[in-house]
Amino acid sequence: MEKELEGKVAVVTGAASGIGLASTEAMLAAGARVVMVDRDEDGLKSVSRKHGNAVIPLRINLLDPEDCATLLPRVLDQAGRLDILHANAGSYVGGDLVDNDTAAIDRMLNLNVNVVMKNVHDVLPHMIERQTGDIIVTSSLAAHFPTPWEPVYASSKWAIHCFVQTVRRQVFKHGIRVGSVSPGPVISALLADWPAEKLQEARDSGSLLEASEVAAVVMFMLTRPRGMTIRDVVMMPTNFDL
């Protein structure tokens, strides 16, 4: 396999499981050194043992503002540079709004929106100085469709879709590409919060994606010629679109 990311340093948030782990594995296979950011220390250690020095595990609680702000300084201290940020960490709140817990709403909006904005904000000066960089945000099909069973989650992804598309226009002059991948439902821990009947319906109809399929799209975006930006990829199981 061609090492298309040889010599690159990537940061993946929410890297210990699901899409983040699949993205990490794909970037490692392409030759990148990957800084894995997660709260799951055991998960980070497991991947680090498997891949050795190609992985730099960083246990960061992104919901803690002080801890979140350490991301770039720690990356630069341990890796010396940053070429790719995959802002993937997120959580899910579904169901009827009237039944949602307001503390869970606050936590989800903070992680899905505020943390993404802060992570991107913090890495941009480094990328602008180097006049190159790639930022990919894990969005969702929910960013493009008013999903009636998840108004809070969908709203967070609509917000971040706007953020990605506007920041992209601000920073392309610095050689920085910003895009998002918007998958339909992916087999991951987030689905644990789906309404049971909706999850069973998706399983029965073959309407779920594998995390590795999303990672393949991330790699497609990262490996385009520098003069090309893939601003957003919407992907879903064919059966989900019926």
CATH of the domain at 220: 3.40.50.720
Span 88-117, mean pLDDT? 95
Exposed, middle or buried: residue 47 (CB in 10 Å: 0-12, 13-18, 19+)? buried
Whether 1 is in a domain gets the answer no
How far is C-alpha 81 from the geometric centre of its chain's CA atoms?
19
Tell me, what's the pLDDT at 196?
72
Tell me, what's the pLDDT at 186?
84
Of the pLDDT bands very low, low, confident and very high (cuts 50, 70, 90), residue 61 is very high
Whether 59 is in a domain gets the answer yes
Name the percent of the chain lying above pLDDT 70: 94
Tell me, what's the pLDDT at 165?
96
User: Helix or strand or coil: residue 58?
Assistant: strand
Whether 2 is in a domain gets the answer no
Exposed, middle or buried: residue 51 (CB in 10 Å: 0-12, 13-18, 19+)? middle
Contact 183, 190 (CB under 8 A): no
Tell me, what's the pLDDT at 208?
82
CB contact set of 92 (below 8 Å; sequence gap of 6+) = 108, 150, 153, 190, 193, 194
Range of the domain at 146: 9-233
Domains of the chain: total: 1
State the catalytic residue, choosing from 26, 87, 153, 194.
153
Of the pLDDT bands very low, low, confident and very high (cuts 50, 70, 90), residue 239 is confident
Distance CA 192, CA 195 (A): 8
pLDDT exceeds 80 at position 111 = yes
User: Distances from the Cα of 154 to the Cαs of 35, 92, 108, 148, 177, in angstroms?
Assistant: 28, 9, 11, 9, 24
Whether 3 is in a domain gets the answer no
Which position has the token pair 């891949």? 51
Whether 36 is in a domain gets the answer yes
In which element (H, E) is residue 158 found? helix 151-171
Whether 239 is in a domain gets the answer no
Ramachandran angles phi, psi of 71, nearest 5°: -55, -60
How many degrees, rounded to 5, is the angle at CA 185 between CA 110 and CA 211? 90
Tell me, what's the pLDDT at 238?
81
Distance CA 95, CA 116 (A): 23
92 is an active site residue? no
Span 88-114, mean pLDDT? 95
Predicted confidence (pLDDT) per residue in 163-209, tens digit: 999 999 999 999 999 999 999 888 766 666 666 777 677 777 777 88
Predicted confidence (pLDDT) per residue in 204-221, tens digit: 777 788 899 999 999 999
